[in-house]
């Protein structure tokens, strides 16, 4: 076992309940049997779940329910009704998860196993941003750089309403295009996620993700995410070092599974390689038809060598769009509001290419990793020849962390990752040149 895979330390796990104007704190360090923490570039908020075993004497019933104010489990005596806060610090040998200043909220609770002396309680948790988002209703008009609009929406509906919601302006990337739009009574997250597919970082670089990590909210382009330096190097090895406490084991891949390695029919149906795009101008009643073709080297940046495109004899998807001309202006100027010809087909291609390869791996717990980070993975060549041993030059290389789960239990701590890659090769084309 790697040292980082050993049981982590629960420095603090405190459940906070506001009841009858009084703040009740319940310590859960000795009751917790499982904790799972989740991040994803496909999710605008953090989630988690916590399993505890309660043998009673954890909380007192209120007089509203019990005149004698006897003690019982937190599930009934507290009781757990949702909206409670969970403040925690979990430490492993490589780092810690510290949510003392921005506690998670209880979404709901269940008691899957219960008898007269003990009960298991499962809590589902979410970050405060998700709660504030549910209470948000965006109405007014926004315009200009999309990145600035994202900052304004987050500040107005989340940041100004809570001191614990984090926003690092450097994590909200400015776009190369402007866009005028109205909220239409949608939630903040719904609008920002929708803006991602309409955003351009530079020419031929469409597609943004909006997501939350332990460091706060992020609005980043695909190319910005994959161009970052890798955080760590991990090696696929069947044999761990004999000394179970050897730190060399901390950066070995414990298991890996290829979930997806291309799906040509799905890519063709999505119009990844060749699509027809029809645009209707409501001012002139003109219709414009353009073909968008993906070719080798089309990606501005990639995680490996340039992505390859199969030979396609005809377009496989048709995109229709009515140009937004004069919708939000007093006069019809004739210029399109964020011309879809600049992003629509290119964004569809970019999202699909990024997820063309998906790999699930388990590694010793590393709380320093975040969704949106890149890591270098080195997989072995499958061979019986000692002369041919080494790193697989096709499968090894740089990967993007799409989904992340830190899993803690009494005997071990594991980080599970879903990694994405848009191309093959140990070295990128840029590095080779």
- Tell me the two tokens of residue 356: 């063309």
For residue range 208-251, what is the model confidence (pLDDT) as tens digits? 999 999 999 999 999 999 999 998 888 886 555 445 456 778 99
**Is 0.85 surpassed by the pTM of this model?**
yes
Query: What DSSP line would sit under 171-234, residue for residue?
Result: GB---SSB--EE-TTB-HHHHHHHHHTT-EEETTEE-EEEEEETTEEEEEEHHHHHHSPPS-EE
CATH topology of domain 3-127: Thrombin, subunit H (2.40.10)
Q: From the DSSP assignment, how many helices (H) and strands (E) are in the chain?
A: 8, 26
In this prediction, residue 301 carries a pLDDT of 80
Check if the beta carbon of residue 208 is closer than 8 Å to that of residue 195.
Answer: yes
Angle ∠(30,32,36) on CA atoms, nearest 5: 150
Q: Which residues of the chain have pLDDT under 70?
A: 1-2, 237-246, 296-300, 329-335, 384-388, 428-433
For residue range 280-320, what is the model confidence (pLDDT) as tens digits? 988 889 999 999 888 755 666 888 877 777 788 888 899 89
User: Distance between CA atoms of 225 and 205, rounded to whole angstroms?
Assistant: 12
How many CA atoms within 13 Å lie on the side-chain side of 263?
14
The class level of CATH for 131-225 reads: alpha beta
CATH code matching the domain that covers 230-261+361-432, chosen among 2.40.30, 3.30.390, 3.30.519, 2.60.120: 2.40.30
What residues does each domain of the chain span? 3-127, 131-225, 230-261+361-432, 264-353
């Amino acid at each position: 076992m790697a040292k980082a895979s050993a049981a982590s330390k629960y420095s603090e796990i405190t459940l906070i309940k506001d009841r009858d104007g009084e703040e009740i704190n319940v310590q859960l360090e000795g009751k917790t049997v499982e904790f799972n923490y989740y991040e994803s570039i496909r999710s605008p908020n953090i989630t988690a779940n916590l399993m505890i075993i309660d043998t009673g004497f954890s909380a007192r019933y209120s007089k509203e329910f019990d005149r004698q104010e006897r003690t019982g489990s937190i599930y009934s005596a507290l009781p757990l009704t949702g909206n409670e806060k969970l403040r925690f610090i979990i430490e492993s040998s490589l780092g810690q998860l510290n949510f003392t200043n921005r506690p998670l909220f209880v979404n709901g609770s269940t008691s899957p196993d219960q008898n007269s002396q003990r009960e298991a309680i499962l809590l589902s948790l979410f970050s405060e941003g998700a709660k504030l988002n549910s209470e948000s209703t965006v109405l007014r008009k926004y315009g200009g750089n999309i990145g600035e609009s994202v900052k304004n929406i987050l500040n107005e509906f989340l940041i100004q309403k809570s001191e614990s919601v984090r926003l690092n302006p450097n994590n909200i990337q400015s776009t190369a295009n402007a866009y005028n739009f109205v909220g239409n009574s949608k939630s903040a997250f719904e609008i920002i996620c929708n803006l991602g597919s309409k955003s351009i970082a530079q020419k031929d670089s469409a597609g943004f993700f909006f997501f939350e990590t332990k460091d706060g909210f992020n609005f980043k382009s695909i190319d910005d995410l994959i161009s970052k330096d890798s955080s760590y190097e991990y090696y696929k090895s069947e044999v761990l070092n004999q000394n179970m406490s050897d730190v060399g084991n901390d950066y070995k891949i414990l298991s890996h599974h290829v979930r997806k390695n291309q799906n040509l029919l799905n890519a063709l149906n999505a119009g990844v390689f060749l699509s027809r795009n029809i645009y209707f101008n409501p001012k002139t009643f003109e219709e414009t038809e353009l073909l968008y073709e993906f070719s080798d080297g089309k990606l501005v940046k990639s995680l490996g060598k340039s992505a390859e495109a199969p030979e396609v004899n005809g377009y496989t998807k048709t995109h229709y769009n009515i140009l937004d001309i004069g919708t939000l202006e007093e006069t019809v100027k004739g210029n399109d509001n964020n011309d879809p010809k600049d992003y629509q087909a290119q964004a569809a291609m970019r999202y699909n290419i990024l997820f063309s390869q998906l790999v699930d791996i388990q590694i010793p717990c590393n709380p320093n990793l975040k969704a949106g980070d890149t890591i270098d993975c080195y997989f072995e060549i499958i061979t019986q020849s000692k002369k041919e041993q080494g790193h697989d030059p096709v499968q090894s290389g740089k990967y993007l962390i799409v989904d992340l789960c830190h899993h803690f239990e009494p005997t071990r701590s594991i980080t599970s990752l879903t990694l994405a890659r848009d191309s093959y090769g140990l070295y990128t084309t840029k590095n080779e040149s």
